[in-house]
Amino acid sequence: MRLLAIATVVGSSMLVSSCGDPNAGLASASHGPRNEIGSTCAAMASRKWNATLSRVNGASPKYLLNVVGEVDLPTPGYTPIWKMGISDRGNPPGLQLSLTFDPPKEVDAQVVTINTVRYSTEVSWSRLRYINVVCGDATLSRIPDIGG
């Protein structure tokens, strides 16, 4: 009788402790394994960020901005979505780029995948003081001194 009571108490405490966060230690359906970057970014890690500015051919005073980096995502099939944010009024200016990810449409294995993400656009600046690449509530990279 006493052994049965101890087993019940242990079982109850385990149940109570697992009720705190139902996803604790588990992959969530939307973002996969826990990430180190930020709670609102699908990317779990990032590295190898680089940016270049090159003159566009022709008489136009435009430049082509290229930004490249690597991100770890919880499953294959995520689609990167870039949005050019604000630039400050410095000379040369600084720029913020926002990166978000559309989740895969199909169910896939939860396997961390390394993805190269790229962004290109025409700009009028020949130099940038920095580019902040942000994803959700986190800064993935601050790339200094682009162009020149």
Which helix (H) or strand (E) element contains residue 4?
helix 2-18
Confidence of residue 24 (pLDDT cuts 50, 70, 90): very low
The C-alpha atoms of residue 125 and residue 63 are separated, in whole angstroms, by 7
Those residues whose C-beta lies under 8 Å from the C-beta of residue 16, and which sit 6 or more positions away, are: none
State the CB neighbour count (10 A cutoff) for residue 88.
12
- What pLDDT digit, counting tens, does each position of 70-111 carry? 999 999 999 999 999 989 988 999 999 999 999 999 888 889
pLDDT given at position 23: 35
The number of helix segments (H) and strand segments (E) in the chain equals 1, 7
Extents of the domains making up the chain: 31-147
Confidence of residue 4 (pLDDT cuts 50, 70, 90): very low
pLDDT given at position 15: 31
